[in-house]
Structure 1
Amino acid sequence: MIISRESGFRHDTKRRGQSMPKRHPVNQTHNALEDEDSCAVYTALLADQGSTRSELRTKARLPLPVFTAAMEQLHRLGLVERDPSADERLLALPPATAMIRTCGDDLRYLAEKQERVYRVTASLSPYSRVYREMPSSGGITASGKRLLNRAEVGETLRDLTAGARGEILTSLPTGESEELFTLTENALRRGVRLRALYRSSVQFNQSSARDTQRLIRLGAEVRLVEDGFTEIVVIDRSAAVLPLRDDAEGALVVQDPHVVHFIVNAYSRAWAEGSAFPVRYRRQQVLEASDRTKHVIMKLLAEGAEVPTIAKRLAISPRTCQRHISEIMNRLGARNRFHAGYLVGQRGLVD
């Protein structure tokens, strides 16, 4: 058994009576000058195959000690051999041939190991598929517990929020869902701190704004961000519930302290950049919020984003998004949204 310095993993070199192939003494400490000299000799020999050492030295124009070192380097690498028909004559070999001759045993050994890995992977494939699809496995992965449907997500959120004692962090683009609103409201009444991040568009949705103001009256802290933080719920900085990239119905529960710590730090940075949820609105506030939304839309247009993508990113309807784009086009004198994106980038209107 040996320990790899690079990875620290154990490698069994005695499995099934096999051993590592014998290493060839290839020098790995040569410098750039040695490479340059040996390349000069190799080039000269390629140009005139069958040269003698004396002829080769004359063509390479190298001092004897330098020429001798260069020849030793070429022999070690397997790039030179004697001509079988004339012992004093030398032949230059292709690098691929030298590789096979020098490392042939290593290459065969690696090929055998790689073939074994392929066979084992193929044998395990059907079992991996069954494990992923079988609910009884609990969906536990290396990164956390996978929740397979909305019912499991709801049950898990109920259990986690009911057990919360210190703080709940939420980031939900369109505001709290009805069920999560009830859960966080109950937590607030028990004295649990609640911080929530929403997209700016939430403040203009009458129903969402009313529910949010109700949470604020119970002590919740709510901030708005233009380009929203990802959907997330963190309980007592010990567990995080994240959306699945490939499944809108499910979620992933992460309890690894290092991962949760990273998520909380990212959340804190987004929180620091957010603005307080307004309890009352003045005309100027509405205009400023609209301008901030347009600024984000201009940035996304410059990146070539489509209307559905922009609308989803900002948690607004495609119709509202198109209205903002039309106003941006009028301001810029653009013919279409692609032209608007070009003008935004050309004029440096966004960071």
Structure 2
Amino acid sequence: MNKIDIGFDDLEPQDLAVYDLAIRKGGLPTTHDLSPDGMTPQEVERSVAKLLEMRLLRASATEPGTFVSVAPQTAAAELTSVLVGEVSLRQQAIARIAEGKEALVARYTEGMAAAAGGVHRLKDLHKIRLLLEETAERCRFEVLTAQPGGARSPEILAEALPRDRRMLERGVAMRTLYQRTTRYNQPARAYVEEVTRLGAEVRTSNELFNRLIIFDRETAFIPDHADPLAAVVVREPSIVAFLLEVFERSWQAAEDFDTGSNDRDSGRGISGDVKLSILKLLAEGLKDEVIARRLGMSVRTCRKHIAAIMLQFGATSRFQGGYIAHRLHLLDSSDQEGGPSGVETEDG
């Protein structure tokens, strides 16, 4: 039986007449010699076929050549069992189609990127994650990552850790850049502690360019400027080489992410170089929101630091605070670790 939309309400009057006759007579001969009044043998044959399909008739086990009636509840149970089996088969087929589709998405995306000259835009977050996972699983020797922003989502880190662990355990070299304020984020510190134990290198920088992931110096993932939820996959060699150079320059200027308990940034105090960065950006006349974004901290935290610095210098405006720092030669060297003290941090 292939139809799954059959029901007892499909029975027509002649079908019911044949069923009634089988009940009253205790059976019907397979030759259809016995038939309701007014029905031709051909009509009886069609009704018998329908009743057999609906499990309301069956061949007699004791009287060969005879069809006997079946109780409706028994027929319904048999039909339901058949339909449940068919539904299960359909569900299995649907699952196989879905699995096959997911396995082909990454291949299709890469093919589209190649057809588009090595640059392809992805708008679907699920496809982005799928392609990231697939590319990470095929990564052979190196992955480079730049993650701006201070706080790291525990959910994202929990999702990334198994993938990164698999790469590290098969010998893939991993280098990651964070902004210095990430040192205050406990989920990030726990993640860094785990991956560095497995051989990854992690450094921090006061300022960082946009998010970037490069696999095997061949495939890069960068944000879509027009859509924060989209990504651009780059395989064009010249563009990837440029992104590699940007990463290497930032890597050389960064310092190790120390997860030890003695790290002076792991507590509530803000380091001198972060203060220095704030002063430099103040001197440039940048707004609080821009400074916070470039240093990877919340606007509230940034404003608290700025207020403390202005109070210490006796400045009445943000630009004046930067100007005073410049007059005091605090901005003369980008390597200077000193600066105003007494500013506390509070992530928000």
Q: TM-score, normalised by structure 2?
A: 0.57
Superposed CA deviations along residues 278-324 of structure 1, whole A, max 9, x for unmatched, are 12143755698521111111111111111111111111111211121
- Cα 1:333–1:181 shift into 2, 3 Å: same
CA RMSD of aligned residues (A): 2.5
Query: Does 2:319 correspond to 1:319?
Result: no
| Distance (Å, rounded) in 2 between the aligned partners of 1:255 and 1:268 | 18
Runs of 4+ in 1 over 4 A off after TM superposition: 137-143, 283-289, 345-348
Decide which of 175, 178, 182 is 1:202's aligned counterpart: 182
Deviation at 1:143, TM superposition (A): 6.0
SS in 1 for 2:233: strand
Which residue pairs with 1:122 in the alignment?
none
**Contact 2:264/2:271 (8 A) holds in 1:** no
**Contact 1:138/1:146 (8 A) holds in 2:** no
Question: Which residue type is aligned with residue 122 of structure 2?
Answer: L
| Distance (Å, rounded) in 1 between the aligned partners of 2:182 and 2:119 | 31
Which consecutive residues of structure 2, in runs of 5 or more, have no partner in the other structure?
1-108, 333-348
Task: Report which structure shows greater RCO (CA 8 Å, sep ≥6).
Answer: 2
**Contact 1:168/1:233 (8 A) holds in 2:** yes
How do 1:39-58 and structure 2 match up within 5 A? none
Query: Does 2:134 correspond to 1:159?
Result: yes
Query: Does 2:125 correspond to 1:150?
Result: yes
Which residue pairs with 1:290 in the alignment?
271
Decide which of 290, 311, 322 is 1:341's aligned counterpart: 322
Decide which of 194, 218, 229 is 1:249's aligned counterpart: 229
Identity %: 32
**Contact 2:143/2:175 (8 A) holds in 1:** yes
Which consecutive residues of structure 1, in runs of 5 or more, have no partner in the other structure?
1-134
Superposed CA deviations along residues 170-225 of structure 1, whole A, max 9, x for unmatched, are 01124583333332222112221111000111111111111111111111100111
| Distance (Å, rounded) in 2 between the aligned partners of 1:190 and 1:150 | 27
Query: Does 2:168 correspond to 1:188?
Result: yes
Question: Which residue type is aligned with residue 140 of structure 2?
Answer: R
Which residue pairs with 1:8 in the alignment?
none
| Distance (Å, rounded) in 2 between the aligned partners of 1:240 and 1:182 | 20
Question: Which residue type is aligned with residue 309 of structure 2?
Answer: I
Deviation at 1:230, TM superposition (A): 2.2
Decide which of 244, 265, 290 is 1:264's aligned counterpart: 244
| Distance (Å, rounded) in 1 between the aligned partners of 2:314 and 2:195 | 43
Larger Cα-atom Rg: 2
How do 1:1-351 and structure 2 match up within 5 A? 141=116, 144-174=119-149, 175=152, 177-178=156-157, 179-282=159-262, 284=264, 290-351=271-332
Deviation at 1:233, TM superposition (A): 0.2
**Contact 1:302/1:342 (8 A) holds in 2:** yes
**Contact 1:197/1:229 (8 A) holds in 2:** no
| Distance (Å, rounded) in 1 between the aligned partners of 2:256 and 2:141 | 22
| Distance (Å, rounded) in 1 between the aligned partners of 2:207 and 2:328 | 22
